Amino acid sequence: MAGPDVAWYVATAAVLFGIGALGVLIRRNTLVVLLSLELMLNAGNLALIALSRHWHNGAGQIFALAVMAVAASEVCVGLGLVVALNRRNLSLDVDTLSELKG
């Protein structure tokens, strides 16, 4: 097959995953956290597709489609939360949303 080695794809996916994970852990804005989550999901998708092409197995691509569906629904829920927070004029800072503190 033409193009770069599968290792490049997997490495890119890993880097993207790392950036997304860091974003979830470090950023305080809820929307950015959701964005980083999406980034992690897409990194996973990339890895799935690349390896599926490498091993000539269609299962990876089918699973990637499923992951996309899950991501979409999760985004709905997440953005719904953000909109609800905004409606109640609550701050979107995840550090202030700590009412479940023991």
Partner 1 sequence: MTAGSWLCLLAPLGGTILILLCGTRIPRVAAAWIAATSVFVAFGGAIWAFLGVRSTTGHVGELTTAWTWLQSGNFHAGLQLLVDPLSTVMMLIVSGVGGLIVLYSIGYMDGDDEERRYFAYIAFFVFSMLLLVEGGNLLMLLAGWGLVGLSSYLLIGFWHDRPSAVRAAKKAFVMNAFGDATMALAFFILIAHTSSLSFATDFNVHLSSTATNLIALGLLGGAAAKSAQIPLQTWLPDAMEGPTPVSALIHAATMVTAGVYLIARTHPIFEQARTVELIAAGTGALTLLVAGLVALVQTDIKRVIAYSTMSQIGYMFLGAGVGAYSAGMFHLVTHAFFKALLFMTAGLAIHALAGEQDIRKMRGLGRVMPFTKWCFLAGALALVGVPPFSGFFSKDSIVASAAALGTWYGWIFWVCGIAGALLTGLYTFRLWFLVFGAGSAAGKAGDARPGTGSPTAIPGGEPSPFVREHYHRHGRFEGPLTMLVPVGVLAVLATVGGWLQWAPKWHPFTNWLAPAAQTLAAAEPTSTQEYYTSAATVIAGLAGIGLAWAIYSERKLAIPAAPFWRRLLEHKFYFDELYDALFYRPGVSIANGLRREFEEPVVLQTSADIGEVTMETGSLVRRIQTGLLRTYVLFLAGGAAAVVLAFLIAK
- Which residue lies nearer to partner 1 by CB, 1 or 95? 95
Is residue 25 involved in binding partner 1 (CB under 8 A)?
yes
What residues contact residue 13 under an 8 Å CB cut-off, 6+ apart?
43, 44, 46, 47, 50
Is residue 102 involved in binding partner 1 (CB under 8 A)?
yes
Tell me which residues in 35-94 interact with partner 1 (CB under 8 A): 94
Among 1, 2, 69, 100, binds partner 1 (CB under 8 A): 100
* Whole-angstrom distance, CA of residue 98 vs CA of residue 78: 17
Is residue 3 involved in binding partner 1 (CB under 8 A)?
no
Region class of 3: left (phi > 0), else alpha (psi between -120 and 50), else beta: left
3-state DSSP call for residue 94? Answer: coil
Residues contributing to the site for partner 1 (CB under 8 A)? 21, 24-25, 33, 94-95, 97-102
